[in-house]
Amino acid sequence: MLFGIAWDTSSNWTFAVSILPILLRGLWVTVQATVLGFFIALVLGLVWAALKMVPLKIVSWPAAVITEFIRDTPLLVQLFFLYYVLPEYGIIFPAFLTGALALGIQYSAYTAEVYRAGLQAIARGQHEAARALNLKSVRTFTHIILPQAVPRIVPAMGNYLVSIMKDVPILSVVTVLEMLNVAQIIGDRTFNYLVPLSMVGGIYLIMTLVASAGVRFVDRALPKRGIPLK
Amino acid sequence: MTEPIIKFDKVIKRFDTFTVINELDFEVQPGEKVTIIGPSGSGKSTVLRILMTLEPISGGVVWVDGEPLWHEKAADGSLKPASEAHLHRMREKMGMVFQQFNLFPHMTVRRNITEAPTQVLGVPKAEARERADQLLDMVGLRDHADKYPHQLSGGQQQRVGIARALAMRPKIMLFDEPTSALDPELVGEVLGVIRRLAEEHDLTMLLVTHEMNFARQISDRVCFFDQGKVLEQGKPEDLFTAPKEERTREFLKAVLEGN
């Protein structure tokens, strides 16, 4: 029994059917961690990108060093650091939040590059024309630069969304009851790993396909007329 | 002589250690059509970019319409570096046409023209659209208002660029090599629009170009730039037929033979 739901081990098929609701509980946690981690990666990545594009070295350099450091150390190390070291200094987050934070921080270093590439792909002439026409800098960013940058950014961000989802099982090592952890517990208790782990794989496949289709849908729905895309 | 509308007073512009504009003194009278010619790297485009506030100056003072462009008058009468608000106000006097057109690719032709008047000058949308259509009429592109820039030829795009700059009702129009990025057969239609502008309006026009025949026809004065200074200037008939300086003669010979 897990989450108050019992399983039926009489055959692999009845077993699969009976544990599906339990795995879906785990999936719900996986989805939540994905969404929260992605949100943190999007926001924090934009902050890094903005800092890295500041012409002052004292601002851009630390941001570059930090993101390089994040990218060059394993997610698992960062996760352990947040989970085991921060509490020693009195900073205690629930496991789920720690996990989502670790995912978000790790991927923010990658999304920062996506933002930067997307924004810098806009020709300098666009900024100059906006300035010559006396458009305010906020208006220039929101109505001239961003509409041209977003279609370049969305596909790459979609790939990172899928990657984050596939990295969520790492959170199982800090006791987060996401889908893989749930499957492993079921396996430990029933000595049948084949069924729950196969189901996790299958569900992941479906989720990845759904997420990719979602990203493609968003990408297609974006207004792209006239924007030169590579 | 009236008060000049543009006045460069010992203006210096350096990029790192390279001096592009070297203690330049240069004046333009209101309504005057001035063409700047010269070899590449002579600083001619930089003059326009300084005026449009796209490049800050390294020294000297630029005056536009009686006010310092890159400076503001402090309480004690001395000049201090201009604030963004001052630059914003000064930019209203000028419009610029770029070599690469720089139209906004995600906006229709009409939206390209109405964006700044509605956002910056607060012109009501309907009025801005009407004005855009008039300007498109003037540049011969009324039927293309709802198209996107990529659907137009280079010459058409540049004519939209001219209409877009005019929509802000500038006193001074700056043309930075407006036909240099165009296929030869499209140059004429753009020059035609600029010519009409020069003939029919009292706009002050400053044009950087390699089209010597055109410069000769529309300019009140031609300035030959060399090494960040005006080496020689005069009426087009004088400068083109009897240049005084050796460098000017060499340049004109090279350019005219190339044509």
| Residue range A77-99, pLDDT digits in tens | 999 999 999 889 988 889 999 99
CB of B150 within 8 Å of a chain A CB? The answer is yes
Check B104 against A227: CB less than 8 A apart.
no
CATH number of the domain where residue A178 is located: 1.10.3720.10
Q: Is residue A229 part of a domain?
A: no
The answer, as to whether pTM is greater than 0.90, is no
pLDDT for the residue B155: 94
Q: Is residue A3 part of a domain?
A: no
ipTM for this prediction: 0.93
| pLDDT tier, A229 (very low <50, low <70, confident <90, very high otherwise) | confident
Question: pLDDT-based confidence at B41, cuts 50/70/90?
Answer: confident
User: What is the 3-state secondary structure of B207-237?
Assistant: EECCCHHHHHHHCCEEEEEECCEEEEEECHH
Say if the Cβ atoms of B103 and A223 lie within 8 Å: no
Mutate to test the interface with A, among B46, B52, B86, B106 (most CBs of A within 10 A): B106
Please answer yes or no on whether B148 and A133 come within 8 Å at the CB atom.
Answer: no
Number of independent structural domains in chain A? 1
* Distance in Å, alpha carbon of A145 to nearest chain B alpha carbon: 9
CA B85 to chain centre: 22
Has residue A133 been placed in a domain?
yes
Cβ within 8 Å, pair B119-A131: no
Q: Chain B neighbours among A 112-131 (CB < 8 Å)?
A: 123, 125-126, 128-129, 131
Contact B85/A at CB under 8 A: no
B96: contact with A, CB 8 A cutoff: yes
Provide, as residue numbers in chain A, all residues whose Cβ is less than 8 Å from the Cβ of B150.
226, 228
Asked if A228 is an interface residue toward chain B (Cβ–Cβ < 8 A), one would say yes
Residue A65 lies in a domain: yes
Query: Per the domain annotation, does A109 fall within a domain?
Result: yes
Give phi and psi for B12, each to the nearest 5. Answer: -120, 140
Asked, for residue A90, whether it belongs to a domain, the answer is yes
> In a 10 Å sphere around its CB, with 0-12 CB exposed, 13-18 middle and 19+ buried, how is residue A181 labelled?
buried
- What is the residue-averaged pLDDT of chain B? 93
Strand partners, B80: B72
The C-alpha atoms of residue A99 and residue A170 are separated, in whole angstroms, by: 8
Nearest to A139 among B119, B150, B168 (CB): B119
CA distance A184 to B42: 73
Per-residue pLDDT tens for B172-201? Answer: 999 999 999 999 899 999 999 999 999 988
pLDDT of A224 reads 79
A41 lies in which domain range?
A: 12-221
**Residue located via tokens 């800098």:** A137
Q: Say yes or no: B103 contacts chain A, CB-CB below 8 A.
A: yes
According to DSSP, the residues that pair with B223 across neighbouring strands are: B36, B233
Residue A199 domain flag = yes
Cα of B250 to nearest chain A Cα, Å: 33
> Would an 8 Å CB–CB cutoff place A144 in contact with chain B?
yes
State the pLDDT at residue B258. Answer: 66
The reply to whether A7 falls in a domain is no
What mean pLDDT is predicted for residues A205-230? Answer: 87
* HSE, side-chain direction, 13 A CA sphere, residue B111: 12
Using one digit for the tens of pLDDT, what is the confidence trace for A176-190? 999 999 999 999 999
